[in-house]
Structure 1
Amino acid sequence: MSRRLTLSPLALALAAAFAPAAAAESVVELPAVEVVGNSPLAGIGIPRLQVPANVQVVGERDLAQSAALNLPGLMGRQLAGVTINEVQGNPFQQDVNYRGFTASPLLGTAQGLSVYLDGVRVNEPFGDTVNWDLLPQAALAGMEVAPGSNPLFGLNTLGGALALRTRNGFDHPGTTLEAMAGSFGRRTLAFASGGQRDSLGWYVAGDGFAEDGWRDFSKSDAGRFFAKLSRRSAAGELDFSLLRARTKMTGNGLLPLSMYEADRAQVFTHPDETRNDLLHLALAGRLWLNGEQSLSGNVYHRRNTTRTLNGDANDEFEDSPFDGVSDEESGANNRTRTRQRGEGLALQWNLNGERHQMTVGTSWDRARIRFRQTQQLGVIDPTRGVGDLEDEEVENAIRGTTETVSLFVTDTVALSPVLHLTASARYNASHVTTFDQLNRVAPNLDGDHRYRKLNPALGLTWQVAPALNAYAGFSQGNRVPTPIELGCADPANPCTLPNAMAADPYLKQVVARTLEAGLRGKLAGGIGWNAGVFRTVADDDILFVGTSTSAGYFTNFGRTRRQGVELGIDGRHGKLDWFASYSWLHATFGSAACLLAENNSSRGTAAACTANGQDDEILVQKGDRLPGLPAHSLKLGLSWQAADWLRLGGDLQAFSGQYARGNENNAHRAGSATDVFGNTRVFSGSGRLPGYAILNLNAEARLGGGWEVFARVDNVFDKRYATAAALAENPFAANGAFQVDSADWRRETFVAPGAPRAGWLGVRYRFAGV
C-alpha cells in the first residue's frame, strides 16, 4: 500500500540540508521528497523513490487516528501484505505475518522478521521472538516496514524488517494525559511530556494497561515507562533513552472446534501466563564531519526476565499406567524462567554526495541466556486447571550465549538524474553456544555452533516520468538457529514449549533470497498508487512441527517459497482521506519431506514415510501450501473530517481461508481414515479455516480547552471468526470433563477464536500551549 508519508524530524532536516544537491541531480520536479532510512541506525535519508522496494511508512497521524491498542493491531489494519494470527487470544501476543514471514512472541513460531527500536534489534536472543507488550506504544513517533531480505537489517530479515522510531523533546513539546475504558474490562492510562531548553531536550512517556479479557481466565496487565534525554548542536546530536516495562500476559491459546461451537469464550486448559520484566538502555548519536559526511552509532544494554506458567494436559498420560484407570497425573504445570542479557554496539560512516549516498558500518551483538524449566504433575480439575500437584521437578537448566559480528556497506549511485543503482552487502559471523547445567553426561544440551554468511543486494530505480517510478531488486538475508531451536530438534523427543529440551540434531542456518519489482506513481488529484510483485525462496527454513497442542520439534525444511502481488492506492479529497490495498500470497513448500503429524487423517498412508514402520508421518510435497497464511487479503480505510472539531473513520479487513498447522500436506479430511498398517481412526474438522471480514469504526472530537474524546468499535457486526488453527487431540468430553481412557480422545481441528464486538471510549487532555 502506498501511503502518504509522515517524515521524521531527522528526515526533514536531511532533506533540507541536501536539497541543493538533489535539485542539481534531478530533472523531475516532485511535490515533496519522501525520505526513508537505509539502515536501522540514523544515517542517510534516502528518497523513497530511489529505494528499489515498496517501503511502507506509518507516521504519527496514522498512529493517532487508528486508536489501535498495539502495533500488531495497527499493522493488521493498515499495512499491505500483513496478516495477524491471534494464536494466544491476547492483544499483545499476536503473530504478525508479512509476506508469509512471521514476528511472534511465541516460541515454536518460525521467525522471519527483524524488529528495531531506534536502531536496536529487539528480537529476543533465545528464540528470535518479539514481545509486542514491551514496546513503548505511548512514545512511538512512527515506523517503517522494509520488505524483502534486506541484508542491511541483519539477522532474521528473511521477509522484511520493522524499524520503530521514538519521540524526542525537540519535536514533541508539551504534556498530554489520556485514559480509555470499555469492553472486556479493558482500561488504559497514558501520559507524555516533552520539552527543550537551548541544546537540551527531554521526553518522558508511560502507559498502563489492564483487562479481564473476553475469554475465561484471561486477565492481563502491563506497565511501561520511556524516557529520552537529547542534545542537539550544529556538530551533531546525542540521545540517551531508557525503557522499563513489566507485564503479565494471559494467552489461553487454541480451542477445539467442538468447544468453540458451544462457547467461544471458554479455554482449553489454564493457566497460561507470561511475565516479562525488561530494562532497555540505549545511547545513540551522530557527528557531522562536514556537509556531506557524518558518523552515527549506538550502544545498548537489554535485560529481560521472562517467567511462564502453563497448565497443560500431560502429554505423557497416554499409554501411562493411569491411562483408562484414573485421572492421576492427567495434567502438568510447566514453569520456565528465562534470563536474557544483551549488549551491543554499531558504528557507521555516512556519505551524501552528488552522485553517491553511501554507508559503511560494523556491529557487534552478544547475549547471555539462562534458562530453567520445571514440571509439576497433577490432576485436571473441573475448570480444566491443574490441581493436586506433586513435587516440582527440574526438567532442564542451561545457559548459553549468542554473539554476532557484522560488516556492511551500501551505496546508492546516481547513474543519471532519473536512474539510481543501489548495491549492498553484509557479512555476518555468529557463534551460538549452550551449556547443560543439569546433565553433564553426553549426549546432553552442550553445543558450540558457528555460522557465517555474506549477503548481497542489488536494485535499480527509474523515474520513467514525473508521475511514474519503476523499481526492481534482489536481496539475500540469513537467520541462524537460536538456542531453543538447537535444543528442540529431535522428532523422537518433542518439546513442551517453551520448555523441555533434549540433545538434538544440528540445524542449518536459513538463507532467504528475494526478487521484487514494481511501479508506483501519482494520478490526478494527488492520488498515490503502487503495484508490485515479489518472490522469496528460503533454503533450510526452520519450521516447528507440532505433535500436540503444546509439544513439537524444530526442523530444517529443504526449501520454501513465498511469492505474491501487492496493490495499493490512497488519496485525499476535500475532507476525506482514504486508502485501499490488496495482497495475494502464494506460500508453498518447495521440496518434499516426511513430517510428524499424528492428528492428520493422511498419516501413515504415504509409502515414502511408512517404509521405516512409521504410522504417524505425512508426506509434504512441493507445491503444498504453508499453514496459517491466507492467500488473499483486502484492506479499506476511510477518514472523514465531518467538522473542524469532529473526525469519523472506519476500516475493513477481509481475508481468505487458511490451512491449519498439522495439515502441511493440505490432505487432511474429516471422517474415518485407515493407514497402510490397517489402523482406522476418526478425525473431526476439515483442517482448514474459512475466510472472514471485519469492520471497525473510530472517531475523535475536540471539545475545546485542551479536551478531546475518542472512541472505537471493533468487529461492528459481531462476526464469529478464527485467525489460526492446528490439528491436535482433545482429551475432554463434551461437558469439559477429562476422559481417563485415551481411546475416547478426539482428534480435532483447534482454532484461535477472534474477539467479539467490543467498544471503548477515551478522553485526552492537552495542557495549555500544546
Structure 2
Amino acid sequence: MRRPNTPTTRRLIGLAVAAAACPLTGQAQETAAAQAGSLPAVEVVGTTPVPGIEVPKDQIPSNVQTADDLHLRRAQSLNLPDFMSTQLPSVNVNEIQGNPFQVDVNYRGFSASPVLGTPQGLSVYQDGVRINEPFGDVVNWDLIPKAAISSITLLPGSNPLFGLNTLGGALSLQTKRGDTHPGTELELQAGSFGRVSTELTHGRKLAEGGHLFLALGGLNEDGWRNYSPSRVRQLFAKVGQDSGRLSWDLSFTHGDNRMVGNGLLPESMLMQNRKQVYTRPDRTDNRMSMLTLNASYRLSDVQTISMTAYTRRSRYSTLNGDLNDDFNPPDNEATGVENRTYTRQRSEGVALQSTYTAGIHQLTFGASVDRARTHFRQTESEGLLDSTRAVVPQEEAEVDALLAGKSRTASIYFSDLVSLRPNLQLSLSGRYNDTRVSTRDDGRTLLGLSTQLDGEGRYKKLNPAIGLTWQATPRLTAYAGWSQGSRAPSPIELGCSDPANACVLPNALQSDPPLKQVVSQTFETGLRGTLESGMRWNASVFRTVNKDDLLFVSSGLSRGYFSNFGRTLRQGVELGLSQQTDRLDWSLSYSYLRARYDSPACLVAEANSSAETSPACTGEGEIAVRRGDRLPGLPAHSLKFNVDWRVTPDWTLGAQYRVYSRQTVRGNENGLHTPDGADFSGSGRIGGYALLDLTTRWKLGRNLELFAKVANVFNRRYATAGQLGRNGFDASGAVAAPDAWRNAQFVAPGAPRAVWIGMRVQLGV
C-alpha cells in the first residue's frame, strides 16, 4: 500500500484551513453587499422524518448537507455510498466485505453498515420510512434505488426527531415524482470488471393534478477480485395526486440482489496477488418489497397534518465459506466450514404529524408506531477447501440456531421553531421512545438445541434538543446546538452478548445477559456565510459522547459477542468552501476527527501482540484499552476537492480528489500491537491514501449524452480497513498445520484503476 506524499497532503490540508478562514476578513463588506441586492436564494430543508415540513437551511443549528439528483448524475457514482464518500465532508467508507454495495459508511465516526457486528450509529430514511433493518439496525445499501433519488439530506448530531439509532446523524432520502421529473430516459453503461448497468426512468403528469414515476435499474459485474460476481435488480414506482388541500403519493420499492464480497485478505497474500481471496464463497442474497403511503392535508393557512404509513417484507440469506477453527488432524480432517443463514422479516408502521404556525412559533407534534417480526435460522456444515479455497461440504447441514424476534417502538415527538427576532431563531425539540424487544428460542423448543435464547427487554427514553441560529448579517450566520439520541439493542444484539458463548457472524446465538440502550449527546457550534462573489463557506466544531456504547467484541475474524462499553468520544472540525459560476462548480472541504475510547476496558484481541500482557486484563486473549485510545477504522484527517468545468456548453470535465490519513485496524484498539516477524505480523495500522477520479460528459444533441469515468486514475494500491486475525494458510495458499497458524494483519484492498463509458438517451417528455 502506498501512502500519499506527506508534504503534499499537509499543504492541501493547510490550504483548506486557510481557505475556510479567509471569508472572515470580508465580513465588513456584508452590509454593503446586502444593500446591493445580491443575496443567495433561500434553501429549505426537511427537518422531520415525515415529509411535509421544511425550514430555511440557515435556521438549522448544525452543518446540514444537501444534494440532489443532478449532483448524483455529475459524479457518475455507482450507488449512494460511492457518492457520499466522494462528495460529502466527514464521510469515509470501509470496504470490509469487498463489494461496492456492501460498504460501511462512516460519518463523524458513526457507521451505517450492512454488516452485522458493526456498531450502528446512523439512521437512514426513505420517504419518511426508517430503513435500518430491525434485526441488527443494519442498512442494505443495495436496496436503495439510486435512479429514484431526488434529494439527499444529511443532518448531523444526535437529532431526537429521527428516532432510534440517530446517534451521530440522520440521512433522509426523498424520491422523485412524475411532475417534477417528467420524461423518459434510458441510461446504459459498461466497462471495467465486466460491469454492465442499465437504468430506465419514466415520469409524467396525469389528469387533475396526478403524477406517475417509474424507475428500473439493473447491474451485472464480475468484480475486480477473483470469484466475485454481483447482480443487482431495483424497481421503484410512485403514483400520487395534488388536489387542492389534499396531497398524497403511494410508492413501491423492490430489490432482488445477489452480491459476492470476498472480504479481508492477509497482507502476505496481498503482496502475491491483490485479486485473490482468503476463503470463499461469501455470498449475500437480498430480496425486499416495501409499500409506502405519504399524505398531507392543509386544514388552514397555518395548519397541516401529514401521515406516513408503510409495510415491508424481506428475505435475506448468506453463504459463507470459512476456514474451520476446529481443524486438527487426525481428530478432525475438515479444513473448511460452510455457514448459512436465512432471515425473514416483516415490519410495518405509521406516523402522524401536525404542523401549526402561531405567531412567532412553528410547532410540530407527531406520534409513530413501528413493529417488526423476524425469523432467523443458521446452519453449519463441515467440509474441505479445494484448490481455490472454496468450501466443499462433506456432511449434511446442521441447524445451529432457530430464533424468532419481535420489536415494537411507540414514540411521540415535538418541535418548536421560535422566531425570537427576524434574525434570531430558537429551536426546541424532543422525542419519547418506548421500545420492546423480545426473542423466542424455537431451536430449543422445536429442535432440542442446547441454546437458551428466550428473553425480553424494554427501553424507555426521552431525548431533548435545543439550538440557536443568528443571522448576524445577511451573509453571515452563527449557530449552536445540543441534542441527545438513543438506540435500543436489537434482537441480534440481545441474542449475542455472552462472552462465554461467542457468535459466528452473521449470528450463532447463545444465552445472553441483558444489554443497556446506547445514549449519545452532541454539541455543535459553527459559522457559515456567503461572499459577494457567491462563494459559500462554513466552519464548525462538534463533540459527541456515547454512553453504554454497543460494540462487537471480536474473538477472531468472524467470532465475538456484543457488549456495552462505558463511553466513547467523537469530536472534530469541519471546514468547507464552494462556488457555482457559469463555467465552474467546485467545492473544497477538510475534516478532522478525534474518535477515542473515553473509558478503560478489556477487549478480546488474541492476534494482538500485547494480548494477556496487562495486569488489568487477565482474560484469555484480552488487551487493555485505555482512555484516549483511537477507535479503529476512522482516519483523523480527510480532504475532498470536487470540480466540474463546462469547457463548452455541451462538454464538461470533472474531477473528484480525496485524501485520507492513516487509521488503526480492528484488534489494535489499544495501539500497542508490535510485529515480531515470527508469531505476529502487520503494523496494526494501514497507511493513508489519495485517490483521483475523472469524469466527462458530452451532449451530442438535445436527446443524447455520452459520459465516461476513470476511477483511481493513478492506480494507487491502498486499503480502506483492516483487522488483526489468524492466518491459517502457508505461502503457497495451502492450509497449514494448526500449530503453524500465525497472527497476521488482514486488510480490505481498494479497487485498481477502472474505466466506464455510457450513454444517456431522452426518449420523450
Structure 1-normalised TM-score? 0.93
Deviation at 1:353, TM superposition (A): 4.3
SS in 2 for 1:735: coil
Residues 309-328 of structure 1 show CA distances to partners (whole Å, capped at 9, x for unaligned) of: 000011233xxxxx244872
Q: How does 1:470-481 map to 2 (within 5 A)?
A: 470-481=478-489
Counterpart contact for 1:406–1:426, Cα < 8 Å: yes
The 8 Å contact of residues 475 and 515 in structure 1, kept in 2 or not, is answered as yes
CA distance in 2 between counterparts of 1:751 and 1:28 reads 54
Any idea what the Cα deviations from partners look like across 1:226-267, whole Å, max 9, x if unmatched? 000011112121000001110001111000000111111101
**How many matched pairs?**
729
Looking at structure 2, the residues matched to 684 and 311 of structure 1 have their Cα atoms a distance apart, in angstroms, of: 24
Q: How large is the RMSD of aligned CA atoms in angstroms?
A: 1.6
Aligned partner letter, 2:195:
R
Give the match's secondary structure for 1:604.
coil
195, 213, 232: which is aligned to 2:223?
Answer: 213
Whichever residue aligns with residue 197 of structure 2, its letter is: T
What amino acid is the match of 1:580?
L
Is the aligned partner of 1:193 residue 2:202? Answer: yes
Q: CA deviation at 1:546?
A: 1.6
1:612-656: CA deviations, max 9, x gaps? xx3410000100000000000000001000111111101101000
How far has the Cα of 1:27 moved from its partner?
14
| Aligned counterparts, 1:610-629, within 5 A | 610=618, 614-629=619-634
Q: Give the match for residue 453 of structure 1.
A: 461
SS in 2 for 1:77: helix
- Structure 2 partner of 1:111: 120
The answer to whether the aligner puts 1:546 opposite 2:546 as a matched pair is no
1:253 pairs, out of 244, 258, 263, with: 263
The correspondence for 1:502, drawn from 493, 510, 513, is 510
Corresponding residue of 1:5: none
Match in the other structure for 2:605 = 597
Q: Partners of 1:500 and 1:29 in 2: how far apart?
A: 62
Alpha-carbon distance in structure 1 between the residues aligned to 2:760 and 2:671 = 49
2:193 is paired with a residue of what secondary structure? Answer: helix
Instruction: Say whether residues 1:426 and 2:427 are aligned partners.
Output: no
Distance across 2 between alignment mates of 1:546 and 1:720: 27
- Indicate conservation of the 8 Å contact 2:381/2:393, yes or no: no
What secondary structure, in the 3-state scheme, does the structure 2 residue paired with 1:767 have? Answer: strand
Contact 2:496 2:507 in 1 (8 A): no
The within-5 A match list for 1:435-584 is 435-440=440-445, 444-584=452-592
Residue 146 (structure 1) aligns with: 155
Counterparts of 1:586 and 1:174 in 2: how far apart (Å)? 47
Taking the aligned partners of 2:726 and 2:451, their CA distance within structure 1 comes to 31
* Equivalent residue letter for 2:356: L
User: Structure 1 residue 574: deviation in Å?
Assistant: 3.8
Q: Does 1:273 find its partner at 2:283?
A: yes
Q: Is the 8 A contact 1:545 1:662 kept in 2?
A: no
- Partner AA of 1:231 in structure 2: Q
Quick check: 1:27–1:417 contact (8 Å CA) kept in 2? no
Structure 2 counterpart of 1:647, from 624, 630, 652: 652
Counterpart AA for 2:529: G
**Aligned residue in 1 for 2:180:** 171
Residue pairs, 1:78-93, within 5 angstroms: 78-93=87-102
Task: Tell me which residue corresponds to 2:752.
Answer: 756
Is 2:742 the counterpart of 1:746?
A: yes
2:690 pairs, out of 690, 693, 699, with: 693
Aligned partner of residue 515 in structure 2, secondary structure = coil
Q: State the alpha-carbon separation in 1 of the partners of residues 474 and 190 from structure 2.
A: 48
Counterparts of 1:381 and 1:359, CA distance in 2:
61
Contact 1:568-1:579 within 8 A present in 2 as well? yes
The answer to whether the 8 Å contact 2:441/2:451 transfers is no
In the alignment, does 2:68 pair up with 1:59?
A: yes
**Distance in structure 2 (CA, Å) of the matches to 1:388 and 1:231:** 55
Q: In the alignment, residue 547 of structure 2 is paired with which amino acid?
A: D
Gaps of 5+ in 2: 1-15, 18-34
Tell me whether 1:307 sits opposite 2:317 in the alignment.
Answer: yes
Question: What SS class does the counterpart of residue 682 from structure 1 fall into?
Answer: coil
For 1:367-386, what aligned pairs fall within 5 Å after superposition? 367-386=372-391
Any gaps of 5 or more consecutive residues in structure 1? 3-25, 318-322, 673-680
Contact 1:730 / 1:748 at 8 angstroms: preserved in 2?
A: yes
Q: What do residues 347-368 of structure 1 show as CA deviations (whole Å, max 9, x unaligned)? A: 0001234411221000000000
Question: Counterpart of 2:593?
Answer: 585
Answer whether contact 1:327 1:738 (CA < 8 A) is retained. no
Does residue 242 of structure 2 align to residue 232 of structure 1?
yes
Q: Which residue identity does 1:737 align to in structure 2?
A: A
**1-structure distance, mates of 2:105, 2:583:** 32
CA deviation digits over 1:337-385, x for unaligned, max 9? 0001000000000123441122100000000000000001111222111
Asked if the contact 2:602–2:624 (Cα under 8 Å) also holds between the matched residues in 1, the reply is yes
**1:75 match: secondary structure:** helix
CA contact (8 A) 1:138 1:206 kept: yes
1:633 lines up with 2:642 in the alignment = no
Q: Whole-Å Cα distance in 1 between the matches of residues 157 and 233 of structure 2?
A: 33
One-letter amino acid of the counterpart of residue 305, structure 1: R
Matched, 1:415 2:423: no
Match of 1:721 in 2: 718
The one-character-per-residue Cα deviations of 1:288-312 (angstroms, maximum 9, x if unpaired) are 0111110011110001100110000
Which residue identity does 1:542 align to in structure 2?
L
Map of 1:294 onto structure 2: 304
Q: In the TM superposition, what is the alpha-carbon distance from 1:63 to its structure 2 partner?
A: 1.1
Structure 2 CA distance for aligned equivalents of residues 724 and 517 of structure 1:
31
Aligned residue number for residue 294 of structure 2: 284
CA deviations on 1:175-232 (whole Å, 9 max, x unpaired) are 0011100000001011000101232110100100110000011000011110000111
Identify the range of structure 1 (38-47 vs 255-264) with the bigger mean alpha-carbon deviation. 38-47
Q: Percent of aligned positions with the same letter in both sequences?
A: 52
Return the alpha-carbon distance in structure 1 between the equivalents of residues 644 and 345 of structure 2. Answer: 43
**1:367-417 Cα deviation digits (max 9, x unpaired):** 000000000111122211112521110000010101000000000100011
Q: Secondary structure at the match of 2:326?
A: coil
CA contact 1:44–1:357 (8 Å) conserved in 2: no
Give me the whole-angstrom Cα distance separating, in 1, the residues matched to 2:424 and 2:520: 27
Offset of residue 28 of structure 1: 11
Structure 2 CA distance for aligned equivalents of residues 768 and 432 of structure 1? 50
Q: For the Cα contact (< 8 Å) 2:326–2:332, is it kept in 1?
A: no
Superposition pairs for residues 310-389 of structure 1, below 5 Å?
310-317=320-327, 323-325=328-330, 328-389=333-394
1:683 to 675, 680, 693: 680
2:709 is the counterpart of 1:709: no
Q: Distance in 2 between matches of 1:388 and 1:189?
A: 37
2:382 partner letter: L
| Residues 1:203 and 2:213 are matched in the alignment | yes
CA change 1:371–1:28 in 2 (3 A) is farther
